[in-house]
Amino acid sequence: MTAPPFPVSDIVASRRPHRKDAARNYDALLTAAREAFAEHGAEASLEDVARRAGVGIATLYRNFPTRRDLFESVYADEVNALCRAAVEVAGREPWEALTTWLNRFTGYMVTKRAVREALDDESDIFLACRESMYAAGGPLLERAQKAGAARTDMDFGDLLRMVAGITATAFEDDAQRDRVLAIALDGVRAGR
DSSP per position, 123-140:
SHHHHHHHHHHHHHHHHH
- pLDDT greater than 80 at residue 191: no
| Per-residue confidence (pLDDT) for residue 124, from 0 to 100 | 80
Q: How far apart are CA 53 and CA 59, in angstroms?
A: 10
- pLDDT greater than 50 at residue 1: no
Q: How far apart are CA 166 and CA 158, in angstroms?
A: 13
| Confidence grade of residue 189 (pLDDT, cut at 50, 70, 90) | very high
As a whole-number percent, the residues of the chain with pLDDT over 70 amount to 91
pLDDT digits (tens, 9 = 90+) for 112-158: 766 666 666 667 888 888 889 899 999 999 999 999 999 999 999 99
**Chain mean pLDDT for the chain:** 87
Q: How far apart are CA 135 and CA 133, in angstroms?
A: 5
| Per-residue confidence (pLDDT) for residue 99, from 0 to 100 | 94
Q: What is the DSSP letter of 163?
A: H
pLDDT digits (tens, 9 = 90+) for 161-177: 999 888 888 888 888 98
Q: How far apart are CA 14 and CA 23, in angstroms?
A: 12
Report whether 168 contacts 113 (CB < 8 A).
Answer: yes
Q: Which residues contact 30 (CB under 8 A, 6 or more apart)?
A: 73, 74, 77
| Per-residue confidence (pLDDT) for residue 168, from 0 to 100 | 81
Q: Calculate mean pLDDT across residues 26-50.
A: 90
Q: How far apart are CA 105 and CA 167, in angstroms?
A: 9
As a whole-number percent, the residues of the chain with pLDDT over 90 amount to 48
The Cβ of residue 170 has, within 10 Å, a number of other Cβ atoms equal to 6
Report whether 57 contacts 50 (CB < 8 A).
Answer: yes
Q: Which residue has the higher pLDDT, 171 or 65?
A: 65
Q: Which residues pair with 189 in a beta bridge?
A: 150
